[in-house]
Amino acid sequence: MKAVRTLETAASIGWNGTSLRAMLEANEEAFARTGRYAGVEALELKEREPILYEKIFSKLRGALVTARATAMNISASPIVKEIGELCFSVYTPEGDSIALSTGIIVHVHTMSDAIKYMIREDFENNPGIADGDIFINNDPHIGDVHNADVQTLVPIFHDDAIIGWAGGVTHEIDIGALTPGSVPVGPTSRFEDGIDVPALKCGANDTLFRDHELRCAKATRAPTFWKLDEKARIAGNHLIRRAVLELVEEIGLDTYKKAIREIIEEGRRSFLQRIKELTVPGRYRSTAFSTYGFSGEERLPAHARIDCIAHMPLEMTIERDGMLGLSMEGADKWGYHSMNCTPSGMQGAVWVVLSQLVVPNDKVNDGAYYGTRQYYPLGSWANPGDPSVSTGIAWLFLIPSFTSLVKHLSRAFQARGYLEDVIAPYGVTGNVFQGGGLDQYGAQSATTNFEFGCAGTGAGFCRDGLDFAAAVWNPEGDMGEVEIWETVEPFLYLGRRVKPNTAGPGKFRGGAGIESLKMAWNTPHYELQNINSGKAFENSGLWGGYPNATGYRKNLKRNNLAEVVAARKPYPVRDGDTAASEIDRCLTAELVQYDDHTVTLPHAFGERDLYLSVQNGGKGLGDPLERDPRSVAEDVATGFLSERFAKTTYGVVLTRANDDVDVDMEATAAERASMRATRRAEARPVSEWRKAQRERVLRGDMIEPVRRMYRSAMELSTAFADEFRAFHELPDDYTL
């Protein structure tokens, strides 16, 4: 029962002879009017037949999990196969997610945006939406985070009406952007973001259009991965379609239609209920920052050569009914860089956090989306409103901006007594090892090494953070096998080790990060970027916990490693404590790049050049002076903390006998008492501090990036400008 359509004969494909667009509008109108999804009042099916209801859901979920497992095996990309960067979802005809698989939960709503875009743009009339069609999207301005996340959408028809959509998304290893890899740093406009497939029909009769396949194969540096990933998404979608049709066959179309609406409305109610259970209503506020330094970068257009600090205020409100509000009022303007985000991407990041902290179960769907209100000011980096803006590495702003959400939720959990769920914010997930060139097989290729999915998490309320095993965007971190990455990248791992001093100190410390030292090998030329936080802390820890260490860059080009090895002298396998660098101890080089310039354009690596990739730790919780001194000793003994910080940060005095590290309890107590005394001596009343700050602000005593940030935020938001002036008691005409 293939519904073959042409432009001339296009008929309505919605239910009961209506158009899809009319269905979407009716749904939205009903939500606006009632506050309930599709206006669903009673969960009749669920209440009348709770068992059948559960069976329907489990069938849909089962199909998604099967689709993901099958697709994972088709893809060749280590990002998809080894790291699991793919996700499937099943949608209502209007594009609301009913259920989704494991994987990159960020996409709970992005594909929904894409489907709705196609409906609003009247795709059902032109280019037509028919059984067997295949659509593709990766445009964040339509519905995505960045171009690297490529979505395939397949409509599901029953007779001549559309009854839903299957959607799958994978993260590509190279996206054919200005610079190699999946998350390019360097684009200053969307025209450099790489392959652009803004919600296009790319196949019919379950077959990809040949022109589409050929065009994409030419537009990426990793055509094989692209091709197999696309096959994987399509195969998964077709499995979902089959399962949905079988379910309809089993329970009847009317029951199916009723069920999918109720499942989403129930998702909304459960979400509100969950928020009510876990949190205390109120207003939570915090600001995060992200930085990059491109001043003097000759390869960028002149207007993009600036040093930047981005302003990321996040206010969370929780209403009495559990409605969760998020506002980024006060964010500064978008810029000529690739870290801007679209509202769809912001949504994605919100879901990543909420699905880990609030609703970690298999029943997450767009219902939860309807339980939130989100505001991203137009013109800001979080909602540029201009389709020419680049979003290539949106995550570099997304991640720091939502560290505040983690903080807010943790405060709310703590206030309510859910201490086990408290978690201090993550660090930025970097350094990203990304680039491209001629690989060990002599072919043009590119890579994004997903080792950076294994950062340290924030500290808990009564335990340390998880070491090197998760990322804020993916709780299921996997570094991948060294031997597998070495088949993909022309680099040898000289080491992959625990990185000392990465964890944010606190009564409970954050999880630690790792470092990989890699040597270019078997490549005539390869270019790599550094991508990490570097110039500023993006956020603080919780309740006196410190932030994690910021990243740094260290590359050794044209070094003497070959001679060192020939003489069988020690060569470095890590950098270790930066104050006693192993790299410096073993090697010299014509060019040593060691600085806080952690966001860079690609730069060249030749045979045996070294690249250091440091992954960050998580933030701490509580005052480090309250940390159990024995835990500090253990961190020193295991190499998580350098001895020099035991005293200066934690006030712990250690003793050493051979390899054993012990605590001098008495000296520690004295040290801590003295540190507290110093703190008291140096402390000033807040009123005094504010006065001094006010003077600085009045004088305009701030570095240019900070001045630019506040000026931009104040220009964009009157509310923020008013608040800024009021806080610092500035005159009404104060500007920067």
CA nearest to 146, candidates 185, 95, 119, 112: 185
Q: Please identify which residue in 343, 379, 495, 504 interacts with other proteins, judged by CB under 8 A.
A: 495
**Minimum distance of other proteins from residue 481's CB (angstroms):** 5
CA distances from 222 to 31, 447, 598 (A): 43, 9, 26
* Minimum CB–partner distance for residue 568 and other proteins (Å): 6
Q: State the binding string over 253-292 for other proteins (x if CB under 8 A, else -).
A: -------------x--xx--xx--x---------------
- Number of chain residues interacting with other proteins (CB under 8 A): 94
Q: What are phi and psi of 397, to 5 degrees?
A: -100, -35
SS3 of residue 533 by DSSP: coil
Other Cβ atoms closer than 10 A to 303: 9
In whole angstroms, the minimum distance from the beta carbon of 573 to other proteins comes to: 3
Strand ranges for 319-454 from DSSP E = 324-327, 372-375, 433-438, 444-449
CB of residue 66 vs other proteins: minimum separation in angstroms? 4
Encoded one letter per residue, x for contact with other proteins by CB under 8 A and - for no contact, window 58-87 reads xx--xx-xx--xx--xx-xxx--xx-----
Selected binder of other proteins within 479, 599, 614, 663 (CB under 8 A): 479
C-alpha angle 223/226/232, rounded to 5°? 140
Where do the H-state alpha helices sit in 134-185? 140-143
647-686: which residues touch other proteins (CB under 8 A)?
Answer: 659
Helix, strand, coil share (%) of the chain residues, nearest 5: 40, 20, 40
Q: Residue 87 in contact with residue 151, Cβ under 8 Å?
A: no
> Which residue, chain included where needed, has tokens 């519905």?
143
Q: Cα(719)–Cα(707) distance, rounded to whole angstroms? A: 18
- How far is the C-alpha of 475 from the C-alpha of 465, rounded, in Å? 13
CB of 487 to other proteins, least distance (A): 5
Site for other proteins in 401-430 (CB under 8 A): 420-421, 423
Nearest to residue 370, comparing CAs of 40, 103, 86? 40
Of 513-552, which residues contact other proteins (CB under 8 A)?
514, 517, 519, 521-522
**Which residue do the tokens 């890579």 mark?**
447
638 lies in the site for other proteins, by CB under 8 A? yes
The amino acid present at 523, given as its one-letter code, is T
Q: Does 378 bind other proteins (CB under 8 A)?
A: no
Q: Does 361 bind other proteins (CB under 8 A)?
A: yes
Question: Which residue lies nearer to other proteins by CB, 30 or 573?
Answer: 573
Kindly write out the interface string for residues 449-468 of this chain, putting x where it contacts other proteins by CB under 8 A and - elsewhere.
----xx--x--x-----xxx
Smallest distance from other proteins to CB 83, Å: 9
Helices (H), 448-537: 482-488
Cβ of residue 361: shortest distance to other proteins, in angstroms? Answer: 5
205 binds other proteins (CB under 8 A): no
Q: Does residue 51 belong to the site contacting other proteins (CB under 8 A)?
A: yes
CB of 476 to other proteins, least distance (A): 6
The interface with other proteins within residues 562-601 (CB under 8 A) comprises 565, 568, 570-571, 573-574
β-strands 324-327, 307-318: how paired? antiparallel
Rounded to whole angstroms, the Cα distance separating 248 from 256 reads 6
Which residues 6+ apart lie within 8 Å of 97 measured at CB?
89, 90, 91, 108, 109, 111, 112, 264, 365, 366, 369
In angstroms, rounded to a whole number, what is the distance separating the alpha carbons of residues 549 and 417? 30
From 19, 125, 255, 440, residue interacting with other proteins (rule: CB under 8 A): 440
Segment 219 to 238, residues that bind other proteins, using CB under 8 A: 224-225, 227-228, 231-232, 234-235, 238
Q: Indicate whether 642 belongs to the interface with other proteins (CB under 8 A).
A: no
Q: Which is nearer to other proteins, 51 or 579 (CB)?
A: 51
Q: Smallest distance, Å, CB 565 to other proteins?
A: 5
Nearer to other proteins, 355 or 383 (CB): 355
Among 123, 157, 294, 493, binds other proteins (CB under 8 A): 493
**Token digits for 174?**
């190279």
Q: Does 341 bind other proteins (CB under 8 A)?
A: no
